[in-house]
Amino acid sequence: MIVLYDPDTLLHDTVELVGAKIRSALESPARTRTIVEKLSESGEHGLRTIQSPLTSDDPSELKALLSIIERTHGREYLDHLKNAFDQWRAEQLIEQHENILPECFVYPTKAHSDPRPPKDLFARAGYFAFDMSSGIMFQTYRSVIASANLASESVSYLLDFKHSHGAPSVFALCRPPGHHCDGNRAGGYCYVNNVAVCISKYRSLSVSGEFARIGILDLDFHHGNGTQELYYSDPQVFYASIHGEDEFPYYTGADSETGAGDAVGANLNLPLATGSDFGEYMKKLNQALIALRDFRPEFLVVSLGFDTFHLDPLGSFQISTEHYALIAAGVRRVLADLPTVILLEGGYALEHLGENVKSFLEGWEARMRE
Ligand code: Q9C
Ligand code: ZN
């Protein structure tokens, strides 16, 4: 399988709050570094390095990517991601090596439901975020754009391969991840929703365009609240997620959330009790796969998190390295004829991340050779 990587995704390196301490964020450049190292040493996977449009000589590449991203994210939000650090520097609120963390968040009030962005820089950091796991440092924007570009390029690759035999698939080593953020709010280590980038790109390139039926399978340990929010009323997009019950992001992910309007029935949440084992996981996975198959999508995006691993510091499922091959083979068995883009989301057990990714890719490809 083709694996896409961009060294610019290594630049973002921020902090998070753990208890009352500020620590290096678990979502770190070392994650991607260890995956790339593992995949290069085995050599079996077609690792390709992509150049970010922010470093390209051709300005039309950046323009094209931004126009895709702007189908999901507000201009003012994107400007905030791009400029907040420099604004804080100009006001001498922060040193070059430091990080912006939000403090005051928007919350429901009886007076109004949709406040305007505030002027105050501290307030703006909270307005454009829903938690404190979305710090902004001087190179955050470069990685966010590189990550979204990998998502976008994965769809271009996929459609180029459409003529080769079998359903093509591409794996994008996105970082930062994307499934927690919606159109105007960062959170849970996410800034731009890479799944949404894939979907917008697919709609812009494919023959069926806006009429395309699209499936999303979210296998990160955490519920993809951002992705769910973006497609909650969209009857053309089916979102299915297996995630830890009552875990982060806490306010979404219940099985009662089934979609809105014309899209009722196109959202399937399968929360799983913390501590669940592989057998329990596979029951939920098969439910998700059958629902996706019955939706009859022409394109699939997988949000792939390895924080379901038994040693993950943020997850609590009992899934081991060998299980990832079985999970991948299971997906491929039911949805074999679907062109698929796989996007990296979470996964924080650094010492095992590379082998877990490898196991997943091997399971995926073994199924393809049968
Ligand atoms: N301060 C993804 O896996 N909470 N995001 C961290 C430690 C945020 C997880 C708690 C967890 C976000 C993509
Ligand atoms: Zn996660």
Q: What pLDDT is attached to residue 370?
A: 53
User: What are the C-alpha distances in Å from 282 to residues 204, 270, 287, 307, 335?
Assistant: 34, 11, 9, 16, 15
Q: What pLDDT is attached to residue 43?
A: 78
Q: What pLDDT is attached to residue 131?
A: 98
Ligand at minimal distance from the CA of 227 is 1
Q: Whose CA is nearest to atom 6 of ligand 1?
A: 133
> How does pLDDT run along the chain (370 residues), one tens digit per residue?
899 999 999 999 999 999 999 999 999 999 999 999 999 998 777 899 999 999 999 999 999 999 999 999 999 999 999 999 999 999 999 999 999 999 999 999 999 888 999 999 999 999 999 999 999 999 999 999 999 999 999 999 999 986 566 789 999 999 999 999 999 999 999 999 999 999 999 999 999 999 999 999 999 999 999 999 999 999 999 999 999 999 999 999 999 999 999 999 999 999 999 999 999 999 999 999 999 999 999 999 999 999 999 999 999 999 999 999 999 999 999 998 899 999 999 999 999 999 999 999 999 998 655 5
What amino acid occupies position 346? G
Ligand at minimal distance from the CA of 344 is 1
Residue from 175, 181, 174 nearest 140 by CA = 175
Q: In this structure, which residues have their CB less than 5 angstroms from ion ligand 2?
A: 220-222, 305, 307, 346
Tokens at residue 94, please? Answer: 């922060």
E strands along the chain, which residues?
2-5, 15-18, 21-24, 46-49, 169-172, 214-218, 237-244, 267-272, 299-304, 340-344
pTM: 0.97
Distance from chain centroid for Cα 332:
20
Distance 225 CA to ligand 2 centre (A): 11
Distance 115 CA to ligand 2 centre (A): 29
Residue from 325, 187, 304 nearest 242 by CA = 304
Peptide bond into 108 cis (omega under 30): no
Distance 66 CA to ligand 2 centre (A): 26
Distance from chain centroid for Cα 243:
14
Active site residue 180: yes
